[in-house]
Each structure stands twice: as C-alpha cells, then as structure tokens.
Chain A
Amino acid sequence: MSQEQTAYSATDEVTSFLDKRTAWSRTKILLRKSPATARFGMIVIAIYIFVAIFAPWIAPYGEAEVFAQPYAPWGGEHLLGTDQIGRDIYSRMIYGARNTVGIALVTTILAFVIGGGLGLAAAINRSWLDQLLSRGVDVLMAIPSLIFALVLLSIFGSSAINLILIIAILDSTRVFRLTRSVAVNVVVMDYVEAARLRGEGLGWIMRREILPNILPPLVAEFGLRFCFVFLTIAALSFLGVGIQPPTADWGSMVRENASLIQFAQYDLKAGLTPLLPASAIALLTVAVNFVVDWFLHHTSGIKD
C-alpha cells in the first residue's frame, strides 16, 4: 500500500452515497415494486378522480333532471333506471363522485390545516399552549363524534359549508394528536435547537425544520382520515342531515332508494339499485386503504 493511499483526505471518506436519481425514475422503481393491492387501489382512485372531474361530460343527463317515469327499470333510456322522483340514477352516481369525494377532500384538508398547525405549535411550545389545546382536544374527543356532529348540524343547519366546518373541526382533534406526538420527537433534535439558537421564528421552525421530517405519517393519516370523513358524510347524508337534495350524493341516494331493496324478489336489478352507491363508497374506502397500507409499509422502513 503506497503512502498516497493511506494519507487522509476528507473528500475520500467512505460514504454510503446513493446513485443520483431523478424524481421520475425513483417513482418508476417505487411503482414497479408496489404490490398488486396498491396498484388496484391506485387505479380505482384514478378512475374516481377522472369521473369526478369530468362528470358533466360523462353523465348522460343532468344531476337534478327529472323524467316522467319514477322507479324506471334498468336498461333502455336509463342505464340504471330512475329514482323515486324520476332522476337518472347513472347520472346521479357520476355527479355523486364529484360531490361526495369533493366535499370529503375539502373537509380533510381543512382538518389537517387546523389540527396539523395547532399540533405543531403545541409540540414546540410544550407549556401552557400545549396544555390548553391538548385538554380541549380531550374534551372534544370524549363526545361520540357522529352524535356531536348531528347535534351541531341541527343547531347550525345542514348547509355544505356547515357540514365541512363541523366535520373538519371534529376530525382535526385526531390530526392534532398525531401531529403533536410525532412532532415532539423531532422538536428535541439538535437541528431544531440549532435553528432556535440561530434565532429563527416559530413559523420557520414549523415549516422548514419539523414538517418535512414528520410528513410520511401525516400523509398516511391523510388517506385514512379521508376515508373516515367520507364515511361520516355518507352516514350523515343517509340520516338526512348531510348533503341536501337535489345535490346528488351517495349517502342520501342509498336512503332515497332504500325501499327498492324489498322488490329484489320480483326484479333483482331493482333490488340492487340502493346497493350501487353503497358499493361505490365501499370500493373507494378499500382502495384508499390499500394505497395507505402500502405507503405506510414503504415509509416506515419495514421490509418483507
């Protein structure tokens, strides 16, 4: 071994450096390794998104267009028949994707902005603010959320805005808990202390030092939380206090056509009609869960 090789040089230290890959090639490798369930989930979600965005072009009739024949059978002019006042069920299913998914998405985002922001602030502050917020959240979480939502909706009235605000605030409690618990582990890191010593403000520390390091669990939670919000909205609509007619929505569609199920013995297709929006809800929930499972598995670093 010659003298040159043994001489120490900082640039030549052995590192486990990674091949530089573009974001695109990283994504390709990731997708190639994804399990079948995750791919199924991603395809289903993509179809839902496509349908939601292009609803007016895909749907043969308008969302609230009323035809002469209520409870029309499947086939013919109306692919999936018509409902109790003669609206085309197929078109309403397509518009339902837009309304139900759209409102659920807006609600989830709002819940994350509120819960995530307050959770981070509580984790950094760790004194009176943390106590105040955490105990407040405990109180909110002690009340069954569906019943609480029902009460609040009957007080404030069931407009779309109220629906979004009430569910977002109720769900933000869980986001708050998660954000706070993952953030307290990052707050004690030396690089956060270094930022504080430098004199950085609260906003910078939250956004630049902590948020990027707690993102994976939050993204996974976003998927799950979206499912729950989606189910809550469907449940509230089914109970009649959610999205109001004539806006098409899967939850209320189940309720409106529920009586058809007893005709299954005469016409199987008619009996299936109320199950269609229900299965649309179920399919999306399952698909999102598949993707979240895979994402969690991938980011938590558990192999096999």
Chain B
Amino acid sequence: MSKNDILLDIKNLKIEGFSDEKWHPIVKGVDLTLRRGQIMGLIGESGAGKSTLGLAAMGYTQPGCRITSGEIMFDGVDLAKLSEGKKREYWGNRITYVAQSAAASFNPAHRLIDQTTASTIRFGIKPETEAKADAVTLYDALNLPNPNMIGNRYPHQVSGGQLQRVMTAMAMSPRPDLIVFDEPTTALDVTTQVEVLTAMRKVVEEFNTAAIYITHDLAVVAQMADFIKVLRHGNEVEEAPTRDMLSAPKEDYTKSLWSVRALEKDPIKEQAPILEIKNIDASYSKVKVLNDVNISVPRGSTVAVVGESGSGKSTTARVITGLLPPMTGSIEFDGSTLPNKLEDRTKEQKRRIQMIYQMADTAMNPRQTVREIIGRPLEFYLGLSGAAREKRVVELLKMIELDERFIDRLPSELSGGQKQRICIARALAAEPDFIICDEVTSALDQIVQEGILKLLMRLQKELNLTYLFITHDISTVKAISDQVVVMNLGQVVEQGKKDDVFSPPHPEYTELLLSSVPEMDPDWLTNLNKVRQAS
C-alpha cells in the first residue's frame, strides 16, 4: 500500500436517469483514476453529472438512476458488479461521504459523538471507547471549539460550519481510503468557509486519505485538489494538475469558466439619491435585527449590500418593501416619505419598487405559466389585457433574451437561469424605478450568474434602473456595484464608493470579509492562514 497505488479506477462509466417515462444519459462514458492520498476536484455546472459521478465512485446511484456500462475498480474490486449488501461493507468503512447540507444529513435525535463513531463501531474497526477518544482527537484536529464536550451536543446546538466539520470528522473516523466531498462548503458564509476548508485539508493531508471534491466553485477547488477534472453535459472536458489547469486551461469551455469573473462595470455619473433610509431600527417580535441603519441609493446606480447571514441585509430589504414596518426611522423615496406599512402605500408607490428573490423556484407560482406570471403585473398595474398584454409579454421576454417559445411553459420546465430571468421580467413588467435584488445569483452556476449579471447591467443602462443588490458574494459586488454597504450584526459597518471600500485601510470586519473570499490561486489558503496566524 504505497502512496502511489491506484486506489480508484473508473473506466468508461455510463449512468442513466429516469424521468418523464424515458431513460436519459447523465454520465456518458467518463474515466477517472485516483491514487492513494490524492485529491481530485470535479467541477462543472449543474447538470454536468459531477455529483452523479462522485456518488458512483462509491458504487452508489441515486434512486431513479442506473449504471448501464463501465467499471468502478476500487482497490481491485468492481463496485458496479457488487450486490447492495456487499457494497454496504465498503460504505462508512473504506469509503465515506460528506454531504452538502450537514443540517439535513444529521439525525436530530442523536448526540454528535454517537453519530460520528456509529459506523466505526459497527464495522468493529475500533471499540467504542477508543472510537470516541479518536473522535475527540479529530474534533481537535478540525479546530472545533471545546473538542471534549462538543460531541455531547445535538445537531441543532452547533452552527452550520461546525456541523460541516463534525461531518468531516464522521467521515474520517473509520480512517477510510476514500472520502467523497459533495459541495461541502456551498451553503456556508465565506468567513466560515475558510475555516472549514482549512480543517478539511489538514485532516485529509494528515491521514493521507484520497478524496474526490465536488464543487462548482473554482477558487475553492483550487485550494483543495491536486488534480481538476472539468465535466460538462456528462462528458469530460479536460483533466490536469491544478496548477497547470489554472495557469493554462486548454479547452474553450474551461477558459470560459475561468473568465467569468472578468466582468467590469463602467463608472456612472453621480445622480441625486432616489431612496434614502434614515435611522432605521427594526425587530422581529422582541429580537432587534436592525440598529440605526442609514443607506442612501443614488438614482441609476447599483448599491451592493454585503455581509454574512444574520447581518440584517434581507431585513433591510423587507423594511424598504414595507413587509416589516420599522420601529423608528423613515424611508424617503424620490423626494417623498413612504408610509412604513405596505398596506398604507398606494398602488403607484408599490409599482415603483419591485423585488427579485434569491430562489426563483419559490418566487414563482408553480401552477402558473410564464404568460400569467409576467402578464399579471401588466394587467394589475398598467391595465393591459388581451392582445396588448400578450404583445408586451413577448417584448419583455425578448428583453431578457428569451423568446415567445417560452410563453406557455411552467416554472418546472425552465432551467435555474431562465427562471431567474422570468422573475426579472416580472419585476420589469411593472416598469419600476427601483429594484431590490436579494441574492439573485447565489443559487446559480458561474456561467449562468455572469449571464444574469450582464443582463441586469444592460437593463440598468437602457431603463435607468436603480438596484439595491443584496449579496454575500464579494466577487459579484466587485463586478457590478457602484457603491458598497458592508453590514454586520444589524449595523452598517462601512458605506461608500466601491473603490474606496475595497482599498485599504478597512475597518476590521471588512478586512475579515474581504480576505476570506477565495482566490484562484492554489496557495491562497496557505498564505492566508500564515498571515492570520502571524497577526
């Protein structure tokens, strides 16, 4: 068992999924070779088959999927041919899995340490006392606070980032040969992501475990993987060592992934503020979530509001829309004061402020067609009906770069990016002056994100729109904003022009937030941790 033995060798693997009465290919003949102690990064957009391939490396297929051909040689045994019972002897023993949503993957009724050691004890790898002692060692290695005691807690008693690290400890506990990480940091804030990545990389290196790391975030995979494999539509696009791949990608598709973050916004002329919120305090029942918030948004510009979850970004949006009337403070819109409560605002005031949501899936009624979704505000605000309404809906579809073929589709028949475009069209239908974009791109793939951001910028120029852009993604902020508001714990930490906020000196919190954004440099994480330890 030397370091360079081939551990996993997947050959010409084909997997199909069943939907709409037919079998569709998901993975179309992919090879993958992984040696002991190596980390392979799998990247691609959604639908690329990266998760399906990652799970297949364990010999597992999701319900409704089947392996049609190919072999999965794990340490000399073809997992594709083993019975379910035989495969179970590998899972949780020699192969383990770290899922995207730790909160949904833990059993809420058991203590963390019991779940961490369950499979180790079941397979008889270690007796219970030893396994628990080892779990504490792992918790310590993963930088969890109070490693001796944290195992006695229940899943809801620790934070998301801590839970993700406990899950890594769980995967590490039986000392597997292979760990499959399926987007383990996607749901976390950047500042938490750094801690989790550091911890995961440390234990994987320490125990010389091979790993497959699935993600759509290039910068993250650059920190973790020795090799990167790019997938698209179930095919391999290219594979190369991380440094080579980052410095010189060969295929056009890979290059396009790399260039996504090159978006730039032209500076705009300074105009008078269209929206000003002054001294806003707001609370949910007794809990105060906004504390003396002042934000001013110039007409025709994009103001980005950044911060971690719980910083009060989305609450600010709810205050502006009138869903959450503030306790004190006022909202000035285009020279006049807006009533605090939604019910007290006129139809015209409601029309001029529109909102686009993070999850396009839940922002559209699944039982309404695109025609009804976009047509309703036209009918409601502008009194259009019949042919005039139909004509305007098609115009709006053209504006968002879709066409009239989409008019009869239901939301379930659209891709993520198309759904978000329909939501944009619905907001535009009201002919607003001011649009609140609440994390509109954070649920989307990078290429699709770029498309949406370009669209929003083009529309801003054409229609002189003003955006309040709420996001936790700093690279999006750099790409599209004119002004930046940094929020933390319900307060505005810093506000100003983009270049001023992003150039030092920063307040302490801005510094932490900015330095936590992964960069496309394989040494970024190592360097960052050196700097942070030194200070």
Residues of A at under 8 Å CB distance from B?
A: 1-3, 6, 8-11, 13-19, 29, 189-191, 193-194, 196-200, 208-209, 212-213
From B178-186, B364-372, B487-495, the one touching the partner chain is B364-372
C-alpha gap A9/B447 in the complex (Å): 10
B333-369: which have CB < 8 Å to A?
342, 345, 347, 350, 354-355, 357, 359, 362-368
| Interface status of B20 (Cβ within 8 A of chain A) | yes
C-alpha gap A13/B47 in the complex (Å): 10
Q: Contact: B421 with A8, CB < 8 Å?
A: no
Q: Which of B323, B354, B366, B368 contacts A193 (CB 8 A)?
A: B323
* B323: A residues at CB distance < 8 A: 193, 196-197
Q: Contact: A8 with B376, CB < 8 Å?
A: no
CB distance from A182 to the nearest CB of B (A): 14
Among B357, B415, B430, B450, which residue has the most Cβ atoms of chain A within 10 A? Answer: B415
C-alpha gap A29/B20 in the complex (Å): 11
CB distance from A216 to the nearest CB of B (A): 11
Q: Contact: B342 with A194, CB < 8 Å?
A: no
The chain A residue sitting closest to B381, CB to CB, is: A198
| Interface status of B251 (Cβ within 8 A of chain A) | yes
Q: Contact: B20 with A189, CB < 8 Å?
A: no
* A198: B residues at CB distance < 8 A: 350, 376-377, 380-381, 430
CB distance from A21 to the nearest CB of B (A): 10
| Interface status of B161 (Cβ within 8 A of chain A) | no
C-alpha gap A17/B408 in the complex (Å): 12
C-alpha gap A110/B96 in the complex (Å): 56
C-alpha gap A16/B322 in the complex (Å): 37
| Interface status of B207 (Cβ within 8 A of chain A) | no
The chain A residue sitting closest to B318, CB to CB, is: A193
Q: Contact: B362 with A191, CB < 8 Å?
A: yes
From B290-298, B398-406, B496-504, B518-526, the one touching the partner chain is B398-406
Q: A190-B362, A212-B367 are known contacts. Are A17 and B380 too (CB-CB below 8 A)?
A: no
C-alpha gap A96/B51 in the complex (Å): 60
Q: Which of A10, A197, A213 contacts B366 (CB 8 A)?
A: A213
The chain B residue sitting closest to A186, CB to CB, is: B365
* A1: B residues at CB distance < 8 A: 237, 251-253
Q: Which of B19, B381, B403 contacts A16 (CB 8 A)?
A: B19
CB distance from B437 to the nearest CB of A (A): 13
CB distance from A111 to the nearest CB of B (A): 24
Q: Contact: A11 with B401, CB < 8 Å?
A: yes
C-alpha gap A1/B249 in the complex (Å): 14
What does the 1/0 interface line of B396-423 toward A look like (CB < 8 Å)?
Answer: 0000111101100100111111100100
* A190: B residues at CB distance < 8 A: 357, 359, 362-363
| Interface status of B233 (Cβ within 8 A of chain A) | yes
CB<8 Å pairs between A and B, sample of 5: A11-B401, A15-B418, A189-B362, A196-B342, A209-B365
Q: A8-B451, A10-B421, A11-B403 are known contacts. Are A17 and B350 too (CB-CB below 8 A)?
A: no
Q: A197-B355, A198-B380 are known contacts. Are A191 and B363 too (CB-CB below 8 A)?
A: yes
Q: Which of A6, A10, A19, A189 contacts B252 (CB 8 A)?
A: A6
The chain B residue sitting closest to A212, CB to CB, is: B367
Closest 4 pairs between A and B when the two form their complex, measured CB to CB:
A13-B415, A212-B367, A190-B363, A15-B415
C-alpha gap A164/B422 in the complex (Å): 47
Chain B: interface size category: 35 or more
C-alpha gap A48/B420 in the complex (Å): 49
Q: Contact: B355 with A17, CB < 8 Å?
A: no
Q: Contact: B413 with A15, CB < 8 Å?
A: yes
What does the 1/0 interface line of B419-448 toward A look like (CB < 8 Å)?
Answer: 001000010001000000000000000011
CB distance from A188 to the nearest CB of B (A): 9
| Interface status of B119 (Cβ within 8 A of chain A) | no
The chain A residue sitting closest to B438, CB to CB, is: A190
CB distance from A172 to the nearest CB of B (A): 25
The chain B residue sitting closest to A199, CB to CB, is: B350
* B403: A residues at CB distance < 8 A: 11
B192-242: which have CB < 8 Å to A?
233, 237
CB distance from A193 to the nearest CB of B (A): 7
Besides A1-B253, A191-B365, 11 more A-B contacts (Cβ < 8 Å) are A10-B451, A11-B406, A15-B414, A17-B409, A191-B363, A194-B363, A194-B426, A198-B376, A198-B380, A199-B350, A208-B365
* A29: B residues at CB distance < 8 A: 21
Q: Contact: A19 with B20, CB < 8 Å?
A: yes
The chain A residue sitting closest to B46, CB to CB, is: A14
CB distance from A207 to the nearest CB of B (A): 12
* B47: A residues at CB distance < 8 A: 14
C-alpha gap A248/B110 in the complex (Å): 61
C-alpha gap A57/B381 in the complex (Å): 55
Q: Contact: A8 with B253, CB < 8 Å?
A: no
| Interface status of B173 (Cβ within 8 A of chain A) | no
C-alpha gap A2/B400 in the complex (Å): 25
CB distance from B251 to the nearest CB of A (A): 6
| Interface status of B159 (Cβ within 8 A of chain A) | no
C-alpha gap A1/B345 in the complex (Å): 54
| Interface status of B52 (Cβ within 8 A of chain A) | no
The chain A residue sitting closest to B356, CB to CB, is: A194
CB distance from B122 to the nearest CB of A (A): 28
The chain A residue sitting closest to B17, CB to CB, is: A16
| Interface status of B302 (Cβ within 8 A of chain A) | no
Among A2, A6, A10, which residue has the most Cβ atoms of chain B within 10 A? Answer: A10
| Interface status of B330 (Cβ within 8 A of chain A) | no
Q: A17-B413, A194-B357, A199-B350 are known contacts. Are A10 and B400 too (CB-CB below 8 A)?
A: yes
The chain B residue sitting closest to A4, CB to CB, is: B252
Q: Contact: A13 with B417, CB < 8 Å?
A: yes
| Interface status of B385 (Cβ within 8 A of chain A) | no
CB distance from B403 to the nearest CB of A (A): 6
C-alpha gap A193/B356 in the complex (Å): 11
